[in-house]
C-alpha cells in the first residue's frame, strides 16, 4: 500500500512539474516510432552526427500531427494546407498593396545594405534586387517569425509525411547542423523545415550557406550579409544567369493563347514575336532579347498577366517550385529596382479548389491529354491541357480549372485534336 502511494505521488509530481514549467508530459511508449528512430541512427552516424547529438535531439520526439502534407488516415491525398501558392487565388497571392509595401521597404534596405549588395553582385553574380525580393517573399524582410522547431517538423515529415525519403535526408542534415554547434533554439522553421531570413532547407545549408561578413561562421538567422549572400549562393548554384532578367509581361494573341504555355512549348522570342506576342509595356523587342529562349507562363490562365520567362525564372522556381512564387519574386525585384505594376490586372478567379483540380486532371488523361501528374495543383501543365481541351471543344480558352470547365468535361468533351 505504501509503495503504491509513493508511486502515485511520483506520477503526480511529474505531472505537477510539467504543468508548472509548461513542459509536455512524458509520451507513451511507441514501439513503431522507437524502431524508426533506431533505424535512423546508422544513417545519421554515417553522415557524421555524434551519438550525443542524436540522442539529445530525438529523445522525447513526438510527431506534430497538425502539420500539412502528412500521410495519415482520413487526411486528403493532396494536402496543400500551408502552401498559399496552391490554395489562394493568384490575385490574392500577388496582392498589389502587399507588393507595394514590400517594394518600399526593399528600396530602403537596398540603400541601407548597399555595400553588402554590391559585394554579393561582384562575388556571386546575382543582382541585388532579386536577392532582396527573396528576403521579402520569404520572411517579409525578417518580420515574419517562424513558428516551428526545425528538428521536430523535419522529423515529423520524415516519419509520417508524404515525402519521407526527402525529409529523412533533411532531418539528417538538420542533425548535422546541431552537431556543428548551431543551437537548437535558433533553428526555428516553417512547417517544412526552412530556416533563416531567406528560408534555407537543412540540406542546402552546408552547400550554400555563405559567410559574407567574415566572422568565421555563416549565420543565416541574424546576419543580413550572410543570409543574403547565402540566398545568392543558392540561386547561383541552381543556374542563375548574371545580367539577365526573369521574364517579360506580354499580351496574348489568338495565335498564341494560354494553351501555348509551359516549358515543353518554349522557343525563341523571335518565334513568339512571329505569333504576334508583344511586350505589355509597349517597348519593342531588342535584337538581344529576340535571340533568347523563352516559354509562356500564364499563372492565372486567361485571368491575369502572361509572361515570356527566361532561365532565371526557372532558377527561382528551383528555390520554390511554384509559378506564383517565381512571378512574385521576379516582379518584386522589378518593383524594388524602380518598375511599376503589371499592365494586365489579376482577377476573375476564386481560390483554388484541390478536389476540382484533381478531378479535371483525372478526367483529361483518359481523353488523351498529356496530364503529367494528378496532384491537385494548378501548374503550367494543368493550365496547358485545360486550354487544349477548351480549344478542341470550341470553348473560351482561359486555361483555368473552373467549375464551368469541370462540368463540361463531366458531360463528355472531345479528345485532344493535337492541332
Per-residue pLDDT tens digits for 321-377:
899 999 999 999 999 999 999 999 988 777 778 889 999 999 999 999 999 999 888
Which parts of 238-378 fold into alpha helices (H)? 269-274, 287-290, 311-319, 323-336, 354-364
Rg (CA), the chain: 25
Q: What per-residue confidence (pLDDT) applies to 419?
A: 41
Side-chain-side CA neighbours of residue 95 (13 Å): 10
Q: How far is CA 13 from the centre of its chain?
A: 45
Side-chain-side CA neighbours of residue 289 (13 Å): 15
Q: What per-residue confidence (pLDDT) applies to 83?
A: 58
Average pLDDT over the chain reads 90
By C-alpha distance, which of 208, 323, 210 is closest to 258?
Answer: 323
Take residue 235 and report the three cell numbers written for it: 540561386
Residue ranges per domain, the chain? 27-84+152-191, 90-147+192-237, 247-309, 354-410
What is the DSSP code string of 9-65?
A: HHHHHHHHHHHHHTPPPPPPP-HHHHHHHHHHHHHHHHTT--HHHHHHHHTT----T
Q: What per-residue confidence (pLDDT) applies to 80?
A: 53
- 4 vs 287, which has greater pLDDT? 287
Helix (H) or strand (E) holding 388: helix 380-392
**Most confident option among 7-11, 68-72, 246-250:** 246-250
Q: What share of the chain is helix, strand, coil (3-state, %, to 5)?
A: 50, 5, 40
pTM: 0.87
Q: 34-51: per-residue pLDDT in tens?
A: 999 999 999 999 999 999
What average pLDDT does the segment 112-139 reach?
98
Q: 253-299: per-residue pLDDT in tens?
A: 999 999 999 999 999 999 999 999 999 999 999 999 999 999 999 99
Q: 11-25: per-residue pLDDT in tens?
A: 333 333 443 344 444
What is the spatial distance between Cα 18 and Cα 251, in angstroms, rounded to a whole number? 62
Q: Any idea which residue has 482520413 for its cell?
A: 74
Q: What per-residue confidence (pLDDT) applies to 415?
A: 65
- Name the CA dihedral angle for 300, 306, 310, 314, rounded to a multiple of 10 degrees: 0
Q: What per-residue confidence (pLDDT) applies to 79?
A: 55
DSSP structural state of residue 414: P
Supply φ then ψ for residue 69, to 5 degrees. 65, 30
- 209 vs 22, which has greater pLDDT? 209
Q: What per-residue confidence (pLDDT) applies to 28?
A: 43
DSSP structural state of residue 178: H
With pLDDT > 70 as the criterion, what percentage of the chain qualifies?
89
What average pLDDT does the segment 144-168 reach?
96
66, pLDDT greater than 60? yes
Listed in sequence order, the residues at least 6 apart from 6 whose beta carbon sits closer than 8 Å to its beta carbon are: none
What strands lie across the sheet with 293-297, from one edge to the other?
267-268, 293-297, 306-309, 247-251, 278-279
30, pLDDT greater than 50? yes
What average pLDDT does the segment 379-407 reach?
94
Amino acid at each position: 500500500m505504501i509503495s503504491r502511494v509513493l508511486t502515485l505521488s511520483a506520477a503526480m509530481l511529474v505531472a505537477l512539474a510539467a504543468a508548472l514549467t509548461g513542459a509536455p508530459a512524458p509520451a507513451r511508449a511507441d514501439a513503431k516510432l522507437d524502431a524508426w528512430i533506431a533505424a535512423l541512427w546508422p544513417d545519421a552516424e554515417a553522415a557524421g552526427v555524434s551519438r550525443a547529438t542524436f540522442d539529445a535531439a530525438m529523445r522525447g520526439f513526438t510527431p506534430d500531427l497538425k502539420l500539412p502534407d502528412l500521410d495519415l488516415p482520413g487526411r486528403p491525398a493532396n494536402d496543400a494546407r500551408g502552401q498559399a501558392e496552391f490554395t489562394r487565388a493568384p490575385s490574392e497571392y500577388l496582392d498589389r498593396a502587399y507588393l507595394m509595401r514590400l517594394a518600399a521597404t526593399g528600396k530602403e534596405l537596398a540603400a541601407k545594405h548597399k555595400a553588402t549588395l554590391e559585394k554579393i553582385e561582384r562575388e556571386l553574380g546575382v543582382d541585388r534586387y532579386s536577392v532582396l525580393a527573396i528576403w521579402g517573399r520569404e520572411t517579409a524582410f525578417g518580420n515574419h517569425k517562424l513558428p516551428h522547431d526545425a528538428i521536430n517538423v523535419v522529423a515529423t515529415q520524415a516519419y509520417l509525411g508524404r515525402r519521407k525519403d526527402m525529409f529523412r535526408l533533411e532531418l539528417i542534415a538538420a542533425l548535422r547542423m546541431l552537431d556543428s554547434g548551431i543551437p537548437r533554439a535558433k533553428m526555428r522553421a516553417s512547417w517544412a523545415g526552412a530556416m533563416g531570413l531567406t528560408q534555407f532547407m537543412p540540406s542546402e545549408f552546408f552547400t550554400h550557406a555563405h559567410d559574407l561578413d567574415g566572422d568565421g561562421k555563416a549565420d543565416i538567422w541574424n546576419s543580413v550579409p550572410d543570409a543574403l549572400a547565402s540566398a545568392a549562393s543558392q540561386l547561383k548554384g541552381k543556374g542563375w544567369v548574371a545580367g539577365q532578367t526573369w521574364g517579360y509581361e506580354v499580351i496574348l494573341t489568338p495565335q498564341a493563347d494560354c494553351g501555348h504555355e509551359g516549358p515543353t512549348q518554349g522557343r525563341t522570342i523571335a518565334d513568339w514575336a512571329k505569333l504576334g506576342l508583344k511586350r505589355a509595356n509597349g517597348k519593342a523587342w531588342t535584337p538581344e532579347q529576340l535571340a533568347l529562349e523563352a516559354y509562356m507562363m500564364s499563372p492565372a490562365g486567361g485571368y491575369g498577366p502572361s509572361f515570356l520567362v527566361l532561365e532565371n525564372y526557372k532558377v527561382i522556381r528551383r528555390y520554390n517550385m511554384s509559378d506564383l512564387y517565381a512571378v512574385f519574386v521576379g516582379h518584386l525585384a522589378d518593383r524594388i529596382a524602380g518598375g511599376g505594376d503589371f499592365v494586365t490586372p489579376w482577377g476573375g478567379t476564386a481560390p483554388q479548389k484541390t478536389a476540382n483540380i484533381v478531378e479535371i486532371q483525372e478526367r483529361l488523361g483518359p481523353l488523351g491529354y498529356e496530364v503529367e501528374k494528378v496532384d491537385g495543383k494548378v501548374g503550367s501543365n494543368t493550365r496547358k491541357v485545360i486550354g487544349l481541351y477548351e480549344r478542341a471543344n470550341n470553348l473560351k480558352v482561359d486555361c483555368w480549372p473552373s467549375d464551368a470547365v469541370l462540368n463540361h468535361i463531366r458531360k463528355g468533351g472531345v479528345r485532344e485534336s493535337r492541332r
